[in-house]
């Protein structure tokens, strides 16, 4: 991977709050966002994080829970409230055919409780895309991490086969991309190759290979061009960072920002919320306290423009 950056760190520069609110008001006249993911009673993961982020940045949300839990499974066993697959499918049909369907400008999906839910969501997305050719669909394929898959194989396969091809942008972590592509991803070149082979046209891979010591990277891929956003790595972090990141990146796209600015701001917001949460010593993201970090982040982010070697040989 060829590094085209100037290797500088810089603070995020952002419009005034008044200008941001103006953007949000303009965008809200254009539509709402459907978010489909898990719901917890305590904590800031799944739809709890996604809905908060989108609404904080001014976007109306239609929230669809795929499963309801008292807390994230990482905190220990708890009761799981599940939905009948047939009833879930009927709810998706209701959304597709309702009189307000024309309001929907974007869809974001995350954790699914079954493969049948995935297929029902795919039918909804195809229906909305047929109605709105410019619909933005962000697929966050929540299926696993370095510890392996934490959804059934058939659910992961359904996400890969049914939802990834529909996505405007996919936001897998490195493990999820590796599982879907069947490849070991040890370098950013390998991440790019896997993304190019799997599609869609744009992919944002979290936990990419950092280029700065002690860092962690988010790698955005569009064709053979790549943007790497890096910040300092923090150990033993709370859950929900991927959910929050996908929501913030979508919100910035909806505000009309270009890919680079959207990546920069989303990365800065997540890192700032994380750093503040860790300073408080709590085990859940403190979104309710750190809403300003979502709208006007000040965290340091290093941005690099990268080029795939096979591309650079032709230029």
Q: Tell me which of 192 and 27 has the higher pLDDT.
A: 192
Binned at pLDDT 50, 70 and 90, residue 14 comes out as very low
d(CA 240, CA 235): 14
Say if residue 233's pLDDT is above 90. Answer: yes
Look up the pTM and report it: 0.89
Residue among 36, 95, 31 nearest 58 (CA):
31
Q: Which two tokens stand for residue 301?
A: 């982010």
**pLDDT score for 30:** 52
Mean pLDDT of 269-286: 95
151-191 confidence digits (pLDDT tens): 999 999 999 999 999 999 999 999 999 999 999 899 999 99
Q: Tell me which of 90 and 23 has the higher pLDDT.
A: 90
237-251 confidence digits (pLDDT tens): 999 999 999 999 999
| Long-range pairs for 83-87: beta carbons < 8 A, 24 or more residues apart | 83/113, 83/117, 85/114, 85/116, 85/117, 85/120
20-52 confidence digits (pLDDT tens): 444 444 444 558 999 999 999 999 999 999 999
**pLDDT score for 310:** 61
Strand ranges (E), 110-224:
136-139, 144-145, 148-149, 169-170, 202-208, 215-222
d(CA 36, CA 200): 19
Check: CB of residue 41 under 8 Å from CB of residue 48. Answer: no
Mean pLDDT of 277-290: 94
**pLDDT score for 54:** 97
Q: Tell me which of 252 and 24 has the higher pLDDT.
A: 252
Give the DSSP per-residue string, 190-214. HHHHHHHHH--SEEEEEEE--SSTT
**pLDDT score for 128:** 97
β-bridge mates for residue 237, sequence order: none
């Amino acid at each position: 991977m060829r590094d085209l950056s100037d290797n500088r760190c810089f603070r995020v520069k952002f419009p005034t709050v008044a200008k941001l609110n103006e953007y949000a008001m303009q965008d809200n006249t254009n539509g709402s966002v459907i978010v489909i993911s898990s719901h917890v009673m305590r904590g800031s993961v799944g739809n709890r994080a996604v809905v908060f982020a989108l609404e904080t940045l001014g976007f109306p949300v239609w929230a669809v829970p795929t499963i309801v839990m008292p807390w994230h499974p990482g905190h220990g066993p708890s009761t799981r409230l599940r939905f009948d697959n047939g009833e879930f499918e009927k709810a998706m049909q209701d959304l597709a055919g309702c009189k307000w369907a024309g309001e929907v400008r974007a869809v974001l999906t995350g954790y699914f409780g079954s493969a049948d839910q995935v297929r029902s969501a795919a039918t909804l997305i195809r229906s909305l895309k047929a109605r709105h050719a410019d619909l933005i669909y962000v697929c966050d394929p929540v299926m696993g991490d370095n510890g392996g898959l934490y959804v059934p194989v058939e659910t992961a396969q359904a996400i890969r086969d049914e939802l990834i091809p529909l996505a405007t942008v996919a936001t897998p972590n490195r493990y999820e991309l590796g599982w879907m592509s069947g490849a070991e991803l040890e370098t950013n070149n390998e991440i790019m190759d896997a993304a190019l082979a799997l599609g869609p046209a744009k992919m944002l891979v979290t936990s990419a290979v950092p280029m700065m010591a002690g860092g962690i990277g988010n790698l955005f891929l569009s064709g053979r061009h790549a943007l790497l956003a890096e910040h300092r790595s923090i150990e033993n972090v709370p859950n929900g960072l991927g959910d929050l990141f996908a929501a913030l990146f979508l919100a910035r796209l909806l505000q009309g920002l270009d890919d680079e600015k959207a990546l920069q701001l989303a990365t800065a917001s997540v890192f700032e919320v994380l750093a503040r949460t860790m300073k408080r010593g709590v085990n859940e993201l403190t979104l309710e306290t750190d809403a300003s970090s979502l709208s006007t982040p000040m965290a340091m982010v290093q941005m690099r423009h990268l080029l795939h070697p096979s591309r650079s040989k032709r230029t």
